[in-house]
Structure 1
């Protein structure tokens, strides 16, 4: 069964806790979303609050995907670029699909929903995201239409002696207007 996506859902305790649980579960399963396992919900929560602050300031939009039970199963945060010469593209952050749903095509569905959301915003022509090297993520994003446009070698220190590339990917939205 497919996920149901919603842009800009109402934030309440249930949604906050659902995203916190998702983020911790993805991190603890080895997902590259800003943490290294093991991670607790208490560790994740301050990072989520930073996203919520950006949302309250109007800089960030939240896209969630719910499974058939209504549980938060996927997220992505769309953040407008505030530099006056770069407002035609936005950043995609914290792209996650719960481990129990991986391998079902939901990651592709999430990226399609994010691109559709970005296309609905005035003046947005592209999406940029970064990913951690060594996980094969650039191949996945590439299969979804993103192009690698930059790489900083060894920019992410997962642990002492385990440095990974920081890879920047770009999706052109093909704006004709």
Structure 2
């Protein structure tokens, strides 16, 4: 039986689209909900075009943990009988309490080769440090930011005339390929590191 997946987004939802297309094609999971913390997220309309239920829950606090916000999310996840969460450009850190409740059931894609460059501004830091290689990582979410078990990584060369934007676009292309493959292996219970 395929797992019911919720995809959390904050913006355009390009990784969400890649995940949904893959789930529909390969039937290893079912996209049952797209949830956003921003009503203006253009990914919500993309999800509706796929006939996926959407929910927008905006936190009352601009930063930090918002327990009421997370309680509302929990209600929606229960309502849709969600079994797995994929963070896909969800720009909000979840509390350790939330993550503990969903231990081993939240995946994220991060735009660096973890454990390097955790957190924000990864591409800028890659350029500043003169890296020759960067990429993206799919990992399990744990209470410690960007530290969970790595499920997959894809590499991208850093070219001499690269900018933050040119790296971002090349890494994003790899994200769209890597995340669906890593999710599929995870849903099938395969403990293999997906590499590209």
Please give the TM-score of this superposition, normalised by the length of structure 2. 0.31
Higher helix share: 2
- When normalised by structure 1's length, the TM-score is 0.33
The structure richer in strand per residue is: 1
